[in-house]
Amino acid sequence: MATRQSGDPSHAVEDYLKAIRHLQRESSPVSTTALAQLLDRSPASVTNMIKSLAERGLVDYEPYHGVRLSEAGELEALRIIRRHRVIEAYLIEKLGYSWDRVHAEAERLEHSASDELVERMAEVLGHPELDPHGSPIPTAKGEVTELRHPALSEVSAGASVIVQEVSDADEGRLRYLAELGLYPGTLVEVMEHEPFEGPIRVRVGGRERSLGRGLAEIVRVELQDEANDGGASDDAANN
């Protein structure tokens, strides 16, 4: 079978909604330029697609200003994100995939798996709240709690942190993070920031490691205070 790119219009819609939601977390409304960059499409084709999404009531679009998801668009985006994250969790927990390989697989299956299959996967997994990269899985009703954890790169030397979430998009980086043992739930001591935007030295599992800034930016962490038991339930202050 030929490789599928943007051939299927419903896949493209779903990818756009996810991308808009992703960018909205940084700033809203989202510019068509930012969207074109993220999706690797021409600005003209992005504008066309946005107009069609607006006609379907999935986004609000103001030319020269930007685009944001409507309530219906937000729900649809959360539905796809749920599918993606349940599939990732299933592939790792039940099929033994390594965590760097599940994202690409989930990018394909999120569009094509039936609702029944995804819900059965969720059930077999015991309805997990987080995916293997530490990202929250929206409920079937489209509810999700997203906490904005600081990046490891922002944490001062001397602090101890627990890894909460890791960006799942780059396989190479995920493989390297796995080598370092930087999974969600791992305790990390930040030892030193090398000067002039240099790497960050950390201690993980008793071993000293050096992390480039770009890598430290995709690792989201929660600060540990001395008395903390490592529970992830008390980070409301951060949001």
Give the span between the Cα atoms of 37 and 27, in whole angstroms: 15
Q: Which residue has the tokens 């990018």?
A: 107
Coil vs helix vs strand at 61: strand
Contact range with Zn ion by CB under 5 A, out of 152-160, 168-176, 207-215, 225-233: 168-176
Of 65-73, 101-109, 141-149, 199-207, the segment contacting Zn ion by CB under 5 A is: 101-109
Q: Is 168 in the site for Zn ion (CB under 5 A)?
A: yes
**Local structure of residue 149 (DSSP, 8 states):** P
Q: How many whole angstroms separate alpha carbon 190 and alpha carbon 103?
A: 28
Give the residue, chosen from 103, 149, 173, 220, that forms a contact with Zn ion under the rule CB under 5 A.
103
User: CB count, 10 Å around CB of 67?
Assistant: 29
What does each C-alpha distance from 190 to 98, 106, 142, 163, 215 come to in angstroms?
Answer: 26, 33, 36, 12, 14
Q: Are 90 and 125 in contact (CB under 8 A)?
A: yes
111 forms part of the interface with Zn ion (CB under 5 A)? no
Size of the site for Zn ion (CB under 5 A): 2
Judged by beta carbon, residue 171 or residue 217, the one nearer Zn ion is 171
Under rule CB under 5 A, residue 18 binds Zn ion: no
Among 54-62, 152-160, 163-171, 219-227, the segment contacting Zn ion (CB under 5 A):
163-171
| C-alpha closest to that of 101 among 110, 109, 93, 92 | 92
Does residue 11 interact with Zn ion by CB under 5 A? no
| CB nearer Zn ion, residue 74 or residue 168 | 168
Of 12 and 86, which CB lies nearer to Zn ion in the complex structure? 86
Q: Which residues bind Zn ion (CB under 5 A)?
A: 103, 168
